[in-house]
Amino acid sequence: MKLFGITGGVGMGKSTAGQWLQQQGVAVADTDVMARQLTEPGQPALQEIAQRFGGAVLSSDGKLNRAELARIVFADAGARGDLEAILHPRIRAAWEAEAQGWEAAGRAFAAILIPLLFETGTESRFDAVVCVACSDSSQLARLRQRGWSDDQIQRRIAAQWPVKEKIERSDFLIWTDTTLETHAAQLKRVVFQRPLSGGRSAATS
């Protein structure tokens, strides 16, 4: 099984890439979705988060108040580190289990969407790392469309490695300042048509 790690900056097209890959029959897991599942009521991670950050991060029905938690952790690097210490080991265990299941089932291709792939040091686990990226102006416009303020956007971007560094460290680059058709054509070439080398190569589209 060829296992791809899909990373990139926030709002740059990872989810769109994941959706297209699923449509082509590729097994895909999204770590953002896993993080949400791991913080549902009754999950140990939610209990640890509430103990660390207080009851203000829980809504009246006992669910995680994601907006309040985001407000805290994206304003304080120490708090963000504490949250990552709670979530990241659990998230990795979840996607590793998915990957092992796919391999056992004989899947030919699989991909894990991991925004913080390099930040968490998991690049060696993949046959190839693909960075999905776009221009700063497109990123800003997309995140504004989500209803984020410019301050929220800058805090989120600052919490990740610069996308330029992610591009340089990845095996392939998918550039999304283009049409969906071109986006898909790039993914098709990288995942299905290019042989994977034994070592890392320069990022390419």
Q: pLDDT tier at 65 (50, 70, 90 boundaries)?
A: very high
Q: pLDDT tier at 50 (50, 70, 90 boundaries)?
A: very high
Strand order in the sheet with 2-8: 27-30, 109-113, 2-8, 128-133, 172-175
CB atoms < 10 A from the CB of 64, how many? 22
* pLDDT value at residue 99: 97
Q: Give the model confidence (pLDDT) of 5-21 as tens digits.
A: 999 999 999 999 999 99
Which tops the pLDDT comparison, 195 or 154? 154
What is the average pLDDT score of the chain?
92
H helices of the chain, in order, are 14-23, 31-38, 44-53, 66-73, 77-104, 136-145, 150-158, 163-169, 180-188
Minimum mean pLDDT range among 81-90, 106-115, 151-160, 194-203: 194-203
H helices of 39-114, in order, are 44-53, 66-73, 77-104
* pLDDT value at residue 193: 81
CA distances from 142 to 20, 124, 178, 192 (A): 19, 30, 13, 28
The model's pTM: 0.89
* pLDDT value at residue 198: 41
| Interatomic CA distance for residues 88 and 94, integer angstroms | 10
Q: Is the pLDDT of residue 205 over 90?
A: no
Q: Is the pLDDT of residue 155 over 50?
A: yes
Q: Is the pLDDT of residue 121 over 60?
A: yes
Q: Give the model confidence (pLDDT) of 170-202 as tens digits.
A: 999 999 999 999 999 999 999 998 766 544 343
- CA 132 remoteness from chain centre: 10
- Domains of the chain in start order, with CATH, are 2-193 (3.40.50.300)
| Residue position matching structure tokens 């304003």 | 75
